[in-house]
Amino acid sequence: MSDHFDVIVAGGGMVGGLLAAALGSARGAGDPLSVCVLEAARPDPFTPGSEPAHDIRVSAVSVASERLFRAVGAWDGVVSRRACPFRRMRVWDGEASESTHKGTEFDAHEVGVPALGHIVENRVLQLALLDCIEQLPSVSLCCPARLAHYRVSKQGDDTSNIAVTLDSGETLTASLLVGADGARSTVRERAGITMPRSVYEQRAMVATVSTDLPQQDITWQRFVPTGPQAMLPLSGHQASLVWYHDETEIQRLCSLDEAAFIEALEAAFPTELGAIARVHQRASFPIAKALAESYISDRIALVGDACHTVHPLAGQGVNLGMLDAGALAETLRDAKVARQDIGARRTLRRYERWRRGENAMMATVLDGFHKAFSPQAAPVRGARALALELAGRVTPARRQVARYASGLAGDLPRLARTGDSV
């Protein structure tokens, strides 16, 4: 293995893996870039057909993210393992009168796509990407390997290189280091980039359940003042629950015995979901919002959770990161074609201007959702129920919501526009 690369990507998770595949794929603009991915831990292998319960960590993969996976050749590795498409999304106000209880249904055909998205285990997404990058001649995967520290070398007034030291003591150099190393990013911390964080007063409980009926092609989302509750379809008879509430209630729900927990779930979701037969796993997480003050530094760029964390109520977190990966890959490949320095601030600013605004806007929208469904006075509740009903009845509003849900709104990277060409 050479020890100099165009790009070193610290973190081969869902976002870092996608970035490396997009940089090293033969299908982008110009020649592939040489890339080294450092990943601290390889996920357990996944054997289709012999994995009983779904993993507890799943993501709602948007159409835009699916297109990015298709464009780099990683989508087959996802569907050959396990993925569940959803074509419809039912949203209802748990406080509204009986007449609006059925809520609003959004459908994929309104935006002309076969599915609004897929629910996929995080492990499956990461494994499909690792398989893909291991096939690319211009990408080297070092796993297990951790970035320990780095140093930017200067030549005159200019910074020309970055030297990255691994925990093994080995040193590699590159024109650019990308931090795709998650919410506790070492790259961000060492670059001195601050990321103010505010913790919501809610926690999220996640669980995998089995239902008597096989899963349908629909996600169920119930909004109540204490926080949303969602049931996402998995393949076969399983579904993934996400339930937001304050810490005390989440602790109580986590400690209920299985029968009492099932009773609470069946009271919250419509009978169309079918009786809940089993609860496989339960876990809970704190919820926070955080946006990095900058996405770039000297020969450094950040992507994914390393530079933003949003409220997970709309399942947007990893999808924003995947769009970061698509946008950064496009920016760097275009810069290389134009014979520009891929690690120069001028190049990196293009990426930052593109993605920082889009991510900040999404964080604000999700904050607004969170506040609109927090405990409120009767007139606000009435306005909220009316807004939800109007969004369901007025065709352009329905279409816009479906576009956001499928990740097709905003300034998309070229790879996410069609999924099969750039």
Ligand X SMILES: Cc1cc2nc3c(=O)[nH]c(=O)nc-3n(C[C@H](O)[C@H](O)[C@H](O)COP(=O)(O)OP(=O)(O)OC[C@H]3O[C@@H](n4cnc5c(N)ncnc54)[C@H](O)[C@@H]3O)c2cc1C
Binding site for ligand X (CB under 6 A): 10-16, 38-41, 59-60, 146-147, 180-182, 186, 204, 206, 285, 304-305, 312, 315-319, 321
Residue 319 Cβ, how far from ligand X at the closest point, in Å?
Answer: 5
Helix, strand or coil for residue 42? coil
* Residue carrying structure tokens 């009492």: 260
Residue 144 Cβ vs ligand X, minimum distance, rounded to whole Å: 8
CA distance linking residue 93 with residue 228, whole number of Å: 9
Q: Are 198 and 288 in contact (CB under 8 A)?
A: yes
Residue type, 356: R
Shortest CB 98 distance to ligand X, Å: 30
At closest approach, how far in Å is the CB of 262 from ligand X?
Answer: 21
Of the two residues 204 and 332, which places its CB atom closer to ligand X in the complex?
Answer: 204
Q: For residue 82, how far is the Cα from the chain centroid? A: 17
Distance of closest approach, residue 232 Cβ to ligand X, in angstroms: 7
Instruction: Give least dist CB 296 to ligand X, A.
Output: 16
A 10 A CB-CB count for 139 gives 25
Nearer to ligand X, 207 or 385 (CB): 207
Residue position matching structure tokens 């969170």: 370
Where helices occur in 25-173 by DSSP H, the ranges are 63-72, 75-79, 122-134
Residues 401 and 160: their CA atoms lie apart, in Å, by 45
Whole-number minimum distance, CB 45 to ligand X, in Å? 15
64 or 385, CB closer to ligand X?
A: 64
Q: How far is the CB of 290 from ligand X (least distance, A)?
A: 11
- The residue among 203 and 384 lying less far from ligand X, judged by its C-beta, is 203
Q: Which residue carries 């992507």 as its tokens?
A: 303
Distance separating alpha carbons of residues 334 and 326, to the nearest angstrom: 12
- Residue number, 18 or 388, with CB nearest to ligand X: 18
CA distance 335 to 135: 25
Is the CB of 128 or the CB of 385 nearer to ligand X?
128
Spell out the residues 6+ positions from residue 152 whose beta carbon is closer than 8 angstroms to its own: 159, 161, 162, 298, 299
* Residues 36, 39, 44, 49, CA torsion sign: negative
Look at residue 250 and give its three-state secondary structure: helix
In sequence order, the 6+-apart residues with CB closer than 8 A to the CB of 283 are 56, 205, 206, 207, 254
Non-local CB neighbours of 157 within 8 Å, separated by 6+ positions? none
Nearest CB to ligand X, comparing residues 15 and 273: 15
Q: How far is the CB of 396 from ligand X (least distance, A)?
A: 26
Nearer to ligand X, 186 or 210 (CB): 186
C-beta closer to ligand X: residue 102 or 151: 151
CB 404 within 8 A of CB 60: no
**Chain position carrying tokens 């969004």:** 391
Q: Which of 306, 257, 260, 251 is nearest to 284 (CA)?
A: 251
Residue 358: name the closest of 325, 324, 328 by CA.
324
Q: How far is the CB of 404 from ligand X (least distance, A)?
A: 13
Q: Which is nearer to ligand X, 95 or 189 (CB)?
A: 189
Smallest gap, in angstroms, from Cβ of residue 320 to ligand X? 7
| Structural element, H or E, at residue 5 | strand 4-10
Q: Which is nearer to ligand X, 7 or 385 (CB)?
A: 7
- Closest alpha carbon to 356 in 404, 300, 302, 414: 302
Range 251-256 contact pairs with CB under 8 angstroms and sequence separation of 24 or more: 251/284, 253/205, 253/282, 254/205, 254/282, 254/283, 254/284
